[in-house]
Amino acid sequence: MGRPDARRAATMTKYSKVAILFHWLIAILVIANFVLASMAEDLPREAQGALMAPHKALGVSILFLSVLRLFWRIGHKPPPLPESIAGWQAGLGKFVHLLFYFLIIAVPLSGWLMASAHPKAPPVDFFGMFDVTMPVGKDEGLAGIGHEVHEILTKPLFILILLHILGALKHQFADRLPFIQRMWP
């Protein structure tokens, strides 16, 4: 008859290959951007540019991929959760995913606004291929708003990532549900 965990695992379905690709690509880029920004933080201003240029290009990439992911998600339902997941956990999971979508769009959007509106900042160089500029005028106040929003929203995004990882590990190892396999390539 098999173990109960094996039966539950057999009934859980995976996310689509496209959803899995979006998930891991955006996750890797977000983590890389956290690392780049953290490394640049305490460097002299001249040295920061070498790290902030790829940080900005990755931010634009995250924004673009996140918008594509959102459109993909609207058109493609995720796999159902196991029946053993409590209603409050399912509701919390939906809220966390909505918050993720908001943050993975708002954080890079606010950074792009900051870079585009700053009077002394050059356009965002997209890995040497082309420049990406938001159609806003050079305005120090607007750049300041973009900076504040970027700084404020980055912290909850980082915390949400940690909670997301802990939740996946909890479901995987404490609840013995194959949550990681649902999103693993």
pTM of the entire predicted model: 0.89
- Please tell me the predicted confidence (pLDDT) of residue 12: 64
CB atoms within 10 A of CB 139: 14
| pLDDT band (50, 70, 90) for residue 6 | very low
Least confident of 10-24, 32-46, 86-100: 10-24
CB 100 within 8 A of CB 30: no
Rounded Cα–Cα distance for residues 119 and 115 (Å): 9
SS3 139: coil
Least confident of 33-42, 45-54, 59-68: 45-54
What value does the mean pLDDT take over residues 127-132?
A: 96
Q: What stretches of 30-164 adopt beta strand conformation (E)? A: 124-126, 130-132
pLDDT at 1 over 80: no
- Please tell me the predicted confidence (pLDDT) of residue 13: 85
pLDDT at 7 over 80: no
- Please tell me the predicted confidence (pLDDT) of residue 3: 45
- Please tell me the predicted confidence (pLDDT) of residue 108: 98
Domain count, the chain: 1
Question: What digits encode the pLDDT tens for the residues 49-61?
Answer: 899 999 999 999 9
Residue 23: CATH number of its domain: 1.20.950
User: What is the extent of the structural domain holding 11?
Assistant: 4-183
Mean pLDDT, all residues of the chain: 91
CB atoms within 10 A of CB 55: 21
Enter the DSSP assignment of 76: S
pLDDT at 26 over 90: yes
Nearest CA among 22, 184, 16 for reference residue 101: 22
Residue position matching structure tokens 């940080």: 55
Nearest CA among 153, 174, 161, 54 for reference residue 110: 153
| pLDDT band (50, 70, 90) for residue 84 | confident
CB atoms within 10 A of CB 104: 25
The burial class, CB within 10 Å (0-12 / 13-18 / 19+), for 61 is buried
Rounded Cα–Cα distance for residues 71 and 19 (Å): 11
